[in-house]
Amino acid sequence: MRIGIFTGGGDCPGLNAAIRAVVRSASTDDVKVLGFRNGWRGLVDDDFAELTRESVIGILPRGGTILGTSRFNPLKDPDSIETLKYNWQRHNLSGVIAVGGEGTLSAARDLHEQHQLRVVGVPKTIDNDINGTDFTFGFDTAVSVVTDAIDRLHSTAESHHRVMVVEVMGRHTGWIAAYGGIAGGADVILVPEHPFRVSRVCDLLINRKKDGRAFSIVVVAEDARPHPDEPFLSDDECSRIYRHDRLGGIGEMLAMEIERCTEIQARVTKLGYVQRGGSPTPADRILATRFGIKAYEMVRAQQWGVMVAVRGNKIVTVPLTEAVGEVKFLDQDIYKIAEVFFG
φ/ψ bin of 111: left (φ > 0), alpha (ψ from -120 to 50), beta (otherwise): alpha
129 belongs to the catalytic site:
no
CB of 323 to ligand F6P, least distance (A): 16
CB within 8 Å of 307: residues ≥ 6 apart: 105, 120, 121, 122, 123, 132, 133, 317, 318, 319, 320, 323, 324
CB of 247 to ligand F6P, least distance (A): 5
For ligand F6P, which is the closer residue by CB, 216 or 281?
Answer: 281
For ligand F6P, which is the closer residue by CB, 126 or 241?
Answer: 126
* CA 280/CA 293 separation, integer angstroms: 18
Ranges of H-type helices in 29-77? 40-45
Ranges of H-type helices in the chain? 15-28, 40-45, 78-90, 102-115, 139-160, 175-184, 198-210, 235-241, 250-262, 282-300, 320-323, 332-340
For ligand F6P, which is the closer residue by CB, 5 or 247?
Answer: 247
Q: Which of 11, 30, 46, 127 is catalytic?
A: 127
For ligand F6P, which is the closer residue by CB, 125 or 289?
Answer: 125
Kindly report the number of other CB atoms within 10 A of residue 132's CB atom: 24
Q: Which residues bind ligand F6P (CB under 6 A)?
A: 10, 101, 125-127, 169-171, 222, 246-247, 276
Kindly report the number of other CB atoms within 10 A of residue 86's CB atom: 13
By annotation, the residues acting in catalysis are 127
